[in-house]
Structure 1
């Protein structure tokens, strides 16, 4: 669905089923308190947004709103942390350069970062139909497979996609592998998290098993949750716009493959992934989910949510604790990774 069509549906709807807001970039560095807790540095570079209490350990017993002094998110009561790996361009001489991010549609002046969605119903539904439970303090989850190098591998994690943006509002078609042509407005990655919770565990050893996709169908089609994960929660989705167009004038691979690679070496695109640590203040998220919001409009009034300016979002920053070059032309990716195209990466 094109962005203009989506906007038309939202404006025609009597109520809303989707909350959309932006979070500016907090820091870019090698820290990952979910997959590599306590490791300084972690294995590969990430871009992190949200509350400035982010650290290498992220003790689940800590109160993130109390530990933070600011957040990069538009909702000023959201001290959660959201992060993904970082995209690099691989030149024909084998060197690497980090791909910067852009502020998403309607947030062009934001300092890079992610756009976050919390969806009670399918993004195209007319009006709010469902009531979903907000996550609780200590909740965290992961989506994707860092080792995926084939379409079969990637299919185990649903709806992690790319859009080659021909215009600033492009949202289709979606692919599961890196686009292989030059994209006039950059590449957008979308990561959709599972929406069925076991109702018991705030986390699991792999950060995945306490969550599930619907037993049949999808979140969008209203598929039922499996008996093992009976609690339906909001669908969390990230959108990230990568400014790949600044590399359009450089030489690309002669075989027609993509020149882009994730910070952990994946050159197929199949291993995209995201991390989430809940940190909303008190009942702020539940109030928003219960209100007839669409995008960030009406939320402030209907749920008594507090919004902050893009300038305030941009002013919340964190100094990287890992001192290394992640932005120059590098002989290898930080952490020593090289581009990995896998085998038979169909």
Structure 2
């Protein structure tokens, strides 16, 4: 029996090295994101981050989080139950060209591709708690003279982000011809449906409004460790024969790729007059260019289950939930996993300023400096350790920080902000005050006494109407000559998201 077990282990390890790409898409489900929140436990642990993020994944997401804490979550937006990771990225806002007020754009849906690339290395599961950041939130100038991705460090600076704009027609083009990035984005020379920077046209492709794409590196340096997100990861390099390898001593992990779709097309009547001239969209960090697209990840995977997926599954667009032999199974897609943000402030409605008081920057509006707490610099006084919690319980304890909004509220749904108060305050929930967590470093944030409270995370079950699958349609952004094979039939897997408006079907 022992001999058979050893043989099975060796066979699984051998299977992890790949001669061709295999992949499976991680689908999310439920009503909207997990939360929309000015929190970033990687870059700004312990207090408010400099800008708002849209968060997907496990319900124990908060101001301080570890892989162990994520594994105690009660629910996740991911369909595979074994994935209790956290995925987040800057929220997209729309600036009304008439009023100049800012409002969040609805997130349409999100996919995370898990690619297992051709390599001579053994591909291993993420270590629990691995923290990664990809993209540069401070960029306001074009990262390259080409709109294409560049993911091989041996061939020059990494360019891991793009914005994809599927359209029924690319006449006129999405980006001004011959753009050098100083006044507009730059088209991908191999795919007219993608580029760097916000496009200047409406993204009206079937079931595919504007999409922000972020590639993550897949080589992990165990000497740096899971916490050192600035030094623990890099992209693999060309090893010949179509394979990419990691440096000696590094661990080759899955290559993950975020696709976040934003429902920009429904806003077209309000920015019709801007087409071809400028974009009305801005990231929550104040970036009007789109060059600063970025994303964050903390692994909360069951490592054994992820290794099984790496070794055995090539489910492709059907999704990880279709991989055979999943030990933990799949979540019920008729439910929803949502939590309250531990930062109590206004982030929605129609606002005069972005939460965090981030000024609009880029393309003639100034540089990228937004606050004394740079998004690219971790808080010097905060710790990534989880708040005190009983290890035997799946519940968590979290500080609820009520922040006076630096924005002027114009219109906010009353159901979400009825309790807003003009001064910094913390709501107490049957707990005695304890020592406050490290002071937030974001500019314009004031806090008074902070209490340790019982968990504020909430989950709720929402039952929604069954939806009919539209006929499979080739995505307008899928170009036969594209150099990147990552853009496939996106319209076919959006069914795992709650909103599927029929108006997307255009001929």
TM range (shorter): 0.7 to 0.9
Give CA-to-partner distance per residue, 1:52-88, whole Å, 9 cap, x none. Answer: 011101145x3422x2111110101111000001001
CA separation of 1:59/1:300 partners in 2, compared to 1, >3 Å: closer, same or farther? closer
Residue correspondence of structure 1 range 296-311 to structure 2 within 5 A: 296=319, 299-304=322-327, 306-311=329-334
Larger Rg: 2
Measure the CA separation in 1 of the matches of 2:310 and 2:100: 47
The answer to whether the 8 Å contact 1:291/1:303 transfers is: no
SS in 1 for 2:114: strand
| Matches of 1:327 and 1:162, distance apart in 2 | 23
Give the structure 2 partner of residue 198 of structure 1.
221
3-state SS in 1 of match to 2:244:
coil
CA deviation after TM superposition for structure 1 residue 266, in Å: 0.7
Aligned to 1:4: none
Q: CA deviation at 1:199?
A: 3.2
Q: Please, which of 111, 114, 117 is the counterpart of residue 118 of structure 1? A: 114
Q: Which of the numbers 187, 190, 202 marks the counterpart of 1:182?
A: 202
Question: Cα distance 1:136–1:75, how it changes in 2: closer, same or farther (>3 A)?
Answer: same
2:105 matched residue in structure 1: 99
| Aligned residue runs from structure 1 range 214-253, under 5 A | 214-216=236-238, 221-227=242-248, 230-251=250-271, 252-253=273-274
- How big is the alpha-carbon RMSD for the aligned residues of Structure 1 and Structure 2? 2.9
Matched, 1:162 2:167: no
Mapped to 2, the partners of 1:97 and 1:217 lie a distance apart of 46
Secondary structure, counterpart of 2:309 in structure 1:
helix
Match status 1:50 vs 2:57: yes
C-alpha contact (below 8 Å) 1:195/1:235 kept by paired residues: yes
> Is residue 150 from structure 1 mapped to residue 156 from structure 2 by the alignment?
no
Q: Is the 8 A contact 1:145 1:157 kept in 2?
A: no
Which of these residues, 70, 80, 90, is aligned with residue 95 of structure 2?
90
Tell me: CA distance 1:265–1:217, structure 2 relative to 1, closer, same or farther (3 Å): farther
- Alignment check: 8 A CA contact 1:291 1:302 kept: no
Q: Distance between the aligned counterparts of 1:150 and 1:242, measured in 2?
A: 23
Instruction: Give the Cα–Cα distance (whole angstroms) in 2 for the partners of residues 136 and 265 of structure 1.
Output: 33
Larger relative contact order (CA 8 Å, sep ≥ 6) = 1
What is the SS of the residue equivalent to 2:301? coil
2: CA distance, partners of 1:115 / 1:27: 16
CA apart distance, 1:179:
1.0
Give a deviation string over 1:186-245, Cα, whole Å, max 9, x none: 20111110122223333354x132111223489x95333344x73222101111110001
| Bigger mean CA offset, 284-293 vs 334-343 | 334-343
TM-aligned CA distance change 1:51 to 1:298, over 3 Å: closer
TM-score w.r.t. the length of structure 1 is 0.79
Specify the alignment match of 1:68 in structure 2.
73
Gaps of 5+ in 2: 1-19, 151-156, 169-190, 368-507
Tell me which of 113, 129, 132 is aligned to 1:141: 132
TM-score (norm 2): 0.55
What is aligned with 2:234? 212
CA contact (8 A) 2:166 2:193 kept: no
Residue pair 1:16, 1:294 contacting (<8 A) in 2 also: no
Over residues 78-120 of structure 1, what are the superposed CA-to-partner deviations in whole Å (9 max), with x where a residue is unaligned? 11000001001112232111110113xxxxxxxxxx2111110
Count of aligned positions: 305
Aligned match for 1:293, one of 314, 327, 346: 314
Misfit runs of 4+, over 6 Å: none
- Measured after TM superposition, the shift of residue 165 of structure 1 is 1.9
